[in-house]
Structures are given as C-alpha cells and as structure tokens.
Structure 1
Amino acid sequence: KHNTKGRVSIGVKWNEADDDETKLEKIITQKYIGNFPMSAEAWTTFRRTGYPRLFPVYLNPMYPDVDYELQIRRMTFKETT
C-alpha cells in the first residue's frame, strides 16, 4: 500500500492474499516492535533483514556528510583453513 506521500506502508492486519515478501515484512515488523526494549536484538533483526522500513533521516546538522540511505549489512564470511 502507498500512503499519501508515495511511500510504502505495511499494515498490521494479516491478509492471506498478500505476497510472501509482504507477509515476511509484517512478521519481522511485529518482531522488531516486540524486541524493541531489547535494543541489540531489534537492531540485529533490522540489520539482518532490512525490516522494518524505518523513516529516513534527511537532515542531521551534527553529521552533514553522513549518507542516510546507507544501511550496514553483514558481509559474507568465507572460511579458510
């Protein structure tokens, strides 16, 4: 669903007709809300999945050179002997 500003918004009501990605986003968003008091768990879930979609920060005068679209992701790890 798109809100009035063209951004995608995910509601909480379960709809079996939703595609698998939307269902996953709804589940992970609820998990994030439930784990928010345990900030490390919530942050790890966000880093791992990219959900929930967080509101972007467009201006932070303390850090004018920060790329606000950048999201840190885990790098793949290749095991060597």
Structure 2
Amino acid sequence: LLNTPDKHLEVNDNIFITSDDVIKILHIPKSTLDVLCHQKRIPFYKPAKRRLFIKSEIIEWVKESRFEGRNKRKLDNDL
C-alpha cells in the first residue's frame, strides 16, 4: 500500500497525506512542520522513514487549538 504511486493513500475511510499536503493545508513552511513533528506537537506516522499524516487528524488538531477572540467573550457576557 505504501508503494502506491498515488499521493493520497486511503485506509479505513481515513486519507493519509504527505508533509507537502500538510504544509499547504496549514500554510506553513516545511521548517515549521519539521519542528512541530520533532516536538511531537502534531499527529503523524512514520512507516519506513516516510512521514505521513491522517487528514482528519490534522483538521481536528487545528480545531483543538482554536482561540476565542475578545468579541466572543463579550457576546457571551452580554447574553
């Protein structure tokens, strides 16, 4: 399965994506992704020295780091 020429690999309804895909999704440089992986701050898999990510996990990781702005707090206090 990992030797497939396709850029995206599909297993159990989860789509595996490459570092290049994550860089495009997050709009970050490769060096930032490397640091996030090295510090184990982002979920990834490394079969056979190839770093892979599950797209749904990356999206969930972004959602978990959501920041509530001041306007949100003000609206909550007004309710």
Q: What is the TM-score normalised by the length of structure 1?
A: 0.28
- Higher normalized strand content (fraction of residues): 2
- Which structure has more RCO (C-alpha within 8 Å, separation ≥ 6)? 2
Q: What is the TM-score normalised by the length of structure 2?
A: 0.29
- Higher normalized helix content (fraction of residues): 2
